[in-house]
Amino acid sequence: MFARKSISPQGRHVLITGASSGLGRAAALTLADRGFGVFAAVRNIDDGKKLAADCPSSRIEPVKIDVTDDRSIDEASAFIAGAVGERGLWGLVNNAGICVSAPLECVSSRLFRQQLEINLVGQLAVTQAFLPALRRARGARIVNVTSGLGTVAIPYLGAYSAAQFAKESLSDALRRELEPMGVKVSVVSPGAIWTPIWGKVSEEGERALAAAPDHIADLYRSTFLNFLKGNEAGARASKTMPADVANAIHTALTVARPRTRYRVGADVRRGFLLTWLLPDTVIDGMFRQIVTPAPTPKGGTHNVRKEA
């Protein structure tokens, strides 16, 4: 799917955030297997040790980073700068993130701020801290992992889409600002993939609904819970694998002229094409079924109240 590599990973180091599970873990193992030295950023260092133990090449070194904690970012930056020295840091993969799924009317300010803080503000904080080491590498790469939902916003994932749309624009601005300094910026945009994040999405979504006032939550309950089930089923059925994303990240780090965007998965490529070709009103109609309650069965009524 992607161009073959032309830059050797030997002697080069990459930092990956959110490496404890899912896409970050797959990318860390793939990059280490292909010759990169990998700094795997995790919030819990024990998770990083488990990841390092699973790496046959022993090229993974865990570092503790919480992207919402400036102190942890600064400490990791100082450690990695000392480890790579004048060679600099070849790559930064901004992968850490969470997914808030709930009707926007049910998303608290606290939850929305958390979504933006982790998926957007924290990404910029990490980038700022590591740019000096990246500039020293001459030709270094930043790879921002976003989502197909950074192109099209669907009902009940508005908070997540807001963060991903913003991360896409942040990537564009960074690419244009850093190009004169020799730092290249690419976006890897995956579609639906089954990873451990999906169990958390459903749990947090149900929790957000439960925290909303009854008269608000009842407006969305049946359609939103159906959406959560369908969304999880779609991720489980997806043919796109974490390895596909890891391969795209590897390509962005190793080709001489990386693309600005790598869309991974038929669904994300289709979504981009549809948003480019179709007017908003047509796309709205495509999503109408998600938010339309099922018809009431004859002789009965839907019970949409919370269970006691």
- Hey, how many other C-beta atoms are within 10 angstroms of the C-beta on 23? 26
Helix axes 197-211, 214-237, angle to 10 degrees: 170
Which strands make up the sheet holding 184-190, listed edge to edge?
60-64, 37-42, 13-16, 91-94, 141-145, 184-190, 261-264
In 3D space, the residue among 20, 13, 23 whose CA is nearest the CA of residue 243 turns out to be: 23
Structure tokens given for 132: 């000096």
Compute how many other C-beta atoms are within 10 angstroms of the C-beta atom of residue 32: 25
Q: Which region holds residue 154: left if phi is over 0, alpha if psi is between -120 and 50, else beta?
A: beta
220 part of the active site? no
**Residues of the chain by 3-state class (helix, strand, coil), percent to 5:** 55, 10, 30
Q: What is the distance between the alpha carbons of residues 2 and 7, in angstroms, rounded to a whole number?
A: 14
Cβ neighbours, 10 Å, residue 100: 26
Q: Which member of 156, 160, 220, 262 is catalytic?
A: 160
In angstroms, the Cα distances linking 46 to 40, 183, 294 are: 12, 32, 46
How far is residue 241's CA from residue 248's CA, in Å, rounded to a whole number? 11
Is the CB of residue 45 less than 8 Å from the CB of residue 117? Answer: no
Both tokens assigned to 239:
């043919």
Beta bridge partners of 263: 189
| Residues belonging to the active site | 160
